[in-house]
Amino acid sequence: MSGNVDMKLIKSLKEKKFRDLNGLFTVEGEKMVREAQESGFEIVRLIHRDEIGEDAMKKISLMSSPSPVLAVIRKPEDKPIVVGDGLFIALDSVRDPGNMGTILRMADWFGVKAVFASQDSVEFYNPKVVQASMGAIFRVRAQYADIPALCRQFRAAGRPVYGTFLNGENIYGSPLSENGLIVMGNESNGISAETAAEVSARILIPKAEGSRAESLNVAIATAITLSEFARRK
């Protein structure tokens, strides 16, 4: 492949349809590229600004100021879902890239085994998700799944399936297991009815008396929930 074709391909990876078509995505910045190099992800090409020049880097960069380095990385293949020990997260229609990236960071911080997302959730390899994950995308298993079916799989294996609801039981007084699946819902509508029917334990993050807030941001709710599970260990 010629250099021009390479650059055209890399530029096209700004769009999801071309990331899907080629099974590739990009990361920028010395820290993120270093994270990728230290992971098990396959780096297809590494491009340095000093080698191709400022103008060429601007054409393929998504940053306001072109990064010193950009890596083209192959998406990992999905693995069979096996229910094991530890906590897992399921995201039911989480659409915001910032939320998804932050949730991946939380999963990395709290030692979550994997993050599963419904097919209508935002793409894990969306550039905004990748940047917001701050490298967690390379350390946390992330793949798409049928969330109601995943819940049934966990329940069949004798694992609890937790879901956050406004009519749930106060998380601070609820029995929590160190093994199981935690379902987090859509930013506007919460957990879908189909998924809610598969939840075995409904939990609530209580708000202060007199608070007029309607809900919590899903990434913040995930952090609070994981923190409470970790505190019980």
What is the secondary structure of 20-87 as a DSSP string? HHHTEEEEESHHHHHHHHHSSPPEEEEEEHHHH-HHHHHHH--SSS--SEEEEEEPPPP------SSE
Residues 203-211, mean pLDDT to the nearest whole number: 95
User: For position 62, which CATH number holds?
Assistant: 3.30.1330.30
206 in the same domain as 184? yes
- Residue 16 belongs to what domain range? 3-74
Residue 146 lies in a domain: yes
User: Which pLDDT belongs to residue 233?
Assistant: 82
Measure the N-to-C terminal CA separation of the chain; round to a whole number of Å: 53
- How far is Cα 213 from Cα 179, in angstroms, rounded to an integer? 31
Show which of 24, 49, 74 is a domain's final residue. 74
187 in the same domain as 94? yes
Candidate ranges 50-54, 60-64, 102-106, 229-233; pick with highest mean pLDDT: 102-106
User: For position 204, which CATH number holds?
Assistant: 3.40.1280.10
User: Which pLDDT belongs to residue 43?
Assistant: 96
Categorize the per-residue pLDDT at 207 as very low, low, confident or very high, splitting at 50, 70 and 90.
very high
Show which of 74, 102, 123 is a domain's final residue. 74
Average pLDDT of the chain? 95
User: Which pLDDT belongs to residue 214?
Assistant: 86
Residue 51 burial (CB < 10 Å; 0-12/13-18/19+)?
exposed
Show which of 41, 74, 107 is a domain's final residue. 74
56 in the same domain as 108? no
109 in the same domain as 15? no
93 in the same domain as 67? no
CA-wise closest residue to 196 among 224, 161, 171, 230: 161
Tell me the H-state helices in 66-188: 97-110, 127-133, 147-156
Q: CA 21 from chain center: how many Å?
A: 21
Residue 79 lies in a domain: no
Answer yes or no: is pLDDT of 3 > 50.
Answer: no
User: Which pLDDT belongs to residue 175?
Assistant: 96
User: Which pLDDT belongs to residue 108?
Assistant: 98
**How would you classify residue 127: left for phi > 0, otherwise alpha for psi between -120 and 50, otherwise beta?**
alpha
Contact 26, 57 (CB under 8 A): no
> What token pair was written down for 51?
């080698």
70 in the same domain as 95? no
The pLDDT tens digits for 31-82 are 999 999 999 899 999 999 999 999 999 999 988 888 999 999 999 999 999 9
Answer yes or no: is pLDDT of 199 > 90.
Answer: yes
96 in the same domain as 67? no
The residue behind tokens 């879902």 is 81
Q: What is the number of structural domains in the chain?
A: 2
